[in-house]
């Protein structure tokens, strides 16, 4: 609506401000509104010698490569405003004090879906974390364990890991076991810690010709048909954003 000119009783001319154009009442089409506090949370949890050194070796930042790769994918898709990710070491998700400091405080509220991507000892502790969070009322949407390690009694002595075998609780579980044709030093570390041989439970249980340290390869190489763990994670997050982050 354009501004209008009127003549006042005094004889002076004045201009009335234009009124805003309103949506006709008969237009009942749904309005799409971005919900600013809608978030998905992903924890990338590294193993021995990943975020911090292990027996004077490392850090190698193996899971950080997956963390950065996925952040770039989220950014390219224009989803960053809905995405919150944390790169943690395996020892930062064990014990009440650490979980309170590094995990609970990293989740906006219990309505936010939580995704856990753990490698090596981080896969072992991350699987335990999935149950702990679920029992506290958080929604663990997906667990991805990349060649999880922790079965060996010897590794318990020098590592901040849970002693019992994990009993994961999540909406979807992807497990990848590294089974390289050519071994390297990282595979010796995995053998020392003893790979967790997951025979049942995961929705996807893949075996891959890749060395233990190659967390990124396990994350981006196909595990189901032509889809990688990264693809399945991305698809799940997109589904939530499209369905739950708009009203």
Q: Could you read off the pLDDT of 223-232 as tens digits, one per residue?
A: 999 999 999 9
Confidence of residue 158 (pLDDT cuts 50, 70, 90): low
Domains of the chain plus CATH, in order, are 40-51+60-244 (3.40.50)
Q: Does 29 or 129 have the greater pLDDT score?
A: 129
Counting residues of the chain whose pLDDT is more than 90, the rounded percentage is 66
- Write down the pTM of the prediction: 0.82
Over residues 9-30, the mean pLDDT reads 48
Please tell me which residue, 181 or 95, carries the higher pLDDT value: 181
HSE value, Cβ hemisphere, 13 Å, CA-based, for 238: 13
- Per-residue pLDDT reduced to its tens digit, 99-148: 999 999 999 999 999 999 999 999 999 999 999 999 999 999 999 999 99
Report pLDDT digits (tens) over 170-215. 999 999 999 999 999 889 878 877 899 999 999 999 999 999 999 9
Please state the rounded mean pLDDT for residues 8-30: 48
Looking at residue 16, its pLDDT comes to: 45
| Mean pLDDT computed over 68-77 | 98
Give the per-residue pLDDT at 171: 98
Q: Is the dihedral of CA 189, 220, 204, 102 positive or negative?
A: positive
Residue 28: predicted pLDDT? 52
d(CA 65, CA 54): 18
pLDDT given for residue 163 in this prediction: 84
């Amino acid at each position: 609506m354009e501004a209008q000119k009127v003549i006042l009783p005094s004889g002076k001319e004045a201009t009335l401000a234009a009124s805003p154009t309103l949506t006709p009442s008969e237009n009942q089409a749904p309005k799409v509104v971005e919900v600013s506090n809608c978030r998905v949370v992903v924890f990338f949890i590294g193993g021995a010698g990943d975020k911090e050194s292990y027996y004077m070796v490392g850090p190698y930042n193996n899971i950080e490569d997956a963390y950065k790769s996925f952040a770039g994918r989220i950014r390219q898709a224009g989803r960053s405003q809905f995405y919150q990710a944390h790169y943690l070491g395996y020892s930062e998700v064990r014990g009440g004090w650490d979980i309170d400091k590094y995990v609970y405080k990293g989740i906006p509220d219990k309505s936010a879906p939580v995704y856990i991507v753990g490698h090596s000892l981080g896969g072992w502790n991350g699987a335990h974390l999935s149950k702990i969070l679920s029992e506290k009322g958080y929604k663990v949407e997906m667990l991805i364990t990349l060649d999880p390690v922790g079965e060996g009694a010897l590794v318990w002595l020098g590592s901040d890991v849970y002693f019992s075998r994990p009993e994961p609780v999540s909406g979807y579980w992807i497990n990848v076991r590294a089974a390289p044709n050519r071994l390297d030093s990282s595979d010796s570390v995995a053998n020392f810690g003893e790979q967790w041989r997951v025979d049942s439970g995961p929705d996807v249980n893949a075996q891959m010709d890749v060395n233990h340290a190659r967390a990124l390869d396990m994350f981006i190489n196909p595990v189901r048909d032509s889809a990688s763990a990264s693809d399945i994670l991305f698809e799940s997050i997109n589904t939530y954003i499209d369905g739950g982050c708009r009203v």
